[in-house]
Structure 1
Amino acid sequence: MRFLPFAIALALTACATVEPPPPPAAPQHGDAQYQPTVGQSGKDVVWVPTSDAMAESMLRMADVKPTDLVFDLGAGDGKIAIAAAKKFGANAVGIEYNKEMADLAARNVVRAGVGDKVRIIHGDIFIEDFSNATVLTMYLLPHLNLKLRPTILKMRPGTRVVTNSFNMGDWEPDAFIGTTYPSGFYYVVPADAAGKWNVSGIDGATSATLNLVQRYQRVGGTLTIDGKEQIILGPTLTGDRLKFSFLDPKGQSRAAEVTVKGNSFAGKVMENSPLYDIAGTRN
């Protein structure tokens, strides 16, 4: 019989008796009072937590600042509202329908030390008022995004909206977060700029009329100066800021940058720097 050296035999025995490590425990999303589970049913949705990385990406995409008021629709455990306050210095409000989840979020706010900046509302996002938000974040199903869309489009122009994973239908995003699931979609609520505008102030013009058509933030149209109609070039509408280029009565290319407020606008005609003021009123 062949005998193995003692050290080798001991090593082989040790290897034979070592058990594999236990599988990692499922991640815990709650506290001692309440433990939500991924996929649990809620009102019209199931709960799936937003990752820390996505939450931060959404807030960065919206360029959140301390002057902002962020509303998170369907706040869950409060992660996004807390991050808005803790990492970006903003005030934030989370609206959550599930009472136990809302209570958990409120406790998380206290644990995070941002109770002076974050409020959690136990309520329905289709009933609660979030019209004073400067930033909206949401992780809802497509049909809920579409149901909210008319309300969002009536909000103050320039309000920034970021959705996790699902878009807003045929309202095209202004920007994207990532290219694979889960991804994010960024929108800026546009002003209502459509219609016929009487324009004053164009250098050398006796009369000018701007006719605009609009679909969400996409705009186009014509500018008629002293009876001569031209198509405006490069029109963009970002919130209440409208920009377009045109030829003035001398045939010079000019760029207009105006701010739309209700049935009026005011701004500048530019050529590298401001040249003169223009204004408009809607018929």
Structure 2
Amino acid sequence: MNHPAQSSRSLIAKPELAPVDHSRRRMLAIGGTALTAGLVGAGPAMAQKESPAFQPHSGQAGKDVVWVPTPDSLVKRMLQLGGVKSDDFVIDLGAGDGKIVIAAAKDFGARGLGIEYNPDMVALAQQKARAAGVSDRANFEKADIFESDFSKADVITMYLLPNLNLRLRPTLMKLKPGTRLVTHAFDMGGWTADETSQSGGSTAYLWLVPANVSGKWQLSYPQGSSSINVPFEVTRQRFQVPEGRVQLGETETSLRDAKVIGDMVRFAFTGTDGVARTFNGRVNGGKIEGEVFDGQRRQRFNAERQGNAPAIEVGD
């Protein structure tokens, strides 16, 4: 049986092998090794070019919110509204690229901490702080704001959604009296802001964490040549607004124009001499000390708490 394939293959003559050039072979081997080493050495650099540095974009999804940067003009105004000073510690909740904490350190001389859930954002904020020369005063950490401790803050800034503000509100209300809270765009529901400011078409809100003046007090103040000692009670304090009454012998009268501003409290009432007096004092634990003004003179007054302090109402 004829096998054309075999016949054809058998007709092809085997070519003669050329003499081996061992020196050329060594050169090729050396060249190949160098080329391989060069490619290996270039690997990280090439990979670096293929993976550009993280760059956030407005609207980028986050854990609880999308990231939208606060305008620079409002950053400055928020820090002004918070009364940031060089001895303050600022905490920014949801710090993003770190611009608020960096501005607090660079422009106001403060120390700051940015709490951010996205590790890429944290790294970017740290890089920006180094570039601004404030990495010794502006720090950032990857953390959940609902599991973080804000108790060391003098000023807290945030740009969160209303529902997140409300979730944080009970925690914020427990901070030391006088802690300044500043938000971008969104309020705190029934907790009315102490001041509202606008800049560049955006809104910022300020709250001062109020001292708790709820409960019973013994009030002492001068009236003519006498010293009056009477009980008064703050029957209800809703956020920074107290309501109460003063017992003037057989006469009972309500507090008016009452407000707690951080660790300061203000109230007024009309005495049995027919004089309306305004009290402005500082709350320090179970004591209030300050000035009473009767329309002519400013004199000292004090009050001491009697019993425990009921909780501040923080609903709605």
In the TM superposition, residue 201 of structure 1 has moved relative to its aligned partner by 4.1
2-structure distance, mates of 1:94, 1:241: 29
Residue aligning to 1:275: 299
- TM superposition score normalised by structure 2: 0.75
Q: Which residue of 2 aligns with 1:6?
A: none
The letter for the 2-side match of 1:105 is: A
Is contact 1:207-1:226 (8 Å) kept? no
Q: Which residue number in structure 2 is paired with residue 157 of structure 1?
A: 177
Q: How much has 1:267 moved relative to structure 2? A: 2.4
- Correspondent of 2:118 among 84, 94, 98: 98
Alignment correspondent of 1:262: 285
1:192 maps onto 2:212 in alignment:
yes
Secondary structure of the residue aligned to 1:183 is: strand
- Number of aligned residue pairs: 253
Consecutive unaligned residues of structure 1, counting only runs of 5 or more, are 1-31
1:180 offset after TM fit, Å? 9.3
2:74–2:199 CA contact under 8 A, matched in 1: no
8 Å contact 2:94–2:158 — kept in the other structure?
yes
Amino acid at match of 1:208: V
Look up the SS of the partner of 2:107 in the other structure.
Answer: helix
Deviation string, structure 1 residues 209-239 (Cα, Å, up to 9, x no partner): 2122211011222211223211223212101
CA–CA separation in structure 2 for the residues paired with 1:282 and 1:144? 36
User: Which residue of structure 1 lines up, in the alignment, with residue 40 of structure 2?
Assistant: none
Partner of 1:5: none
Tell me the distance in 2 between the aligned counterparts of 1:160 and 1:252.
Answer: 35
Aligned CA RMSD, in angstroms, stands at: 2.1
**2:90 is the alignment partner of 1:83:** no
| Structure 2, unaligned runs of 5 or more | 1-51, 308-316
Local SS of the residue matching 1:187: strand
Shift of 1:166: 1.0
Residue number in structure 2 paired with 1:224: 247
Q: Secondary structure at the match of 1:56?
A: helix
Q: Give, in angstroms, the shift of residue 93 of structure 1.
A: 0.8
Deviation, structure 1 residue 249? 4.1
The Cα of 1:263 is off from its aligned counterpart by 3.2
Q: Output the CA distance in 1 between the equivalents of 2:59 and 2:125.
A: 17
SS across alignment from 2:216: strand
SS of equivalent to 2:120: helix
Q: 1:205 Cα deviation (Å)?
A: 5.5
**d(CA) in 2 for partners of 1:216 and 1:192?**
9
Shift of 1:247: 2.7
SS of the aligned residue for 2:247 comes to strand
2:252 and 2:139 map into 1 onto residues whose CA distance is 53
Q: Corresponding residue for 1:24?
A: none
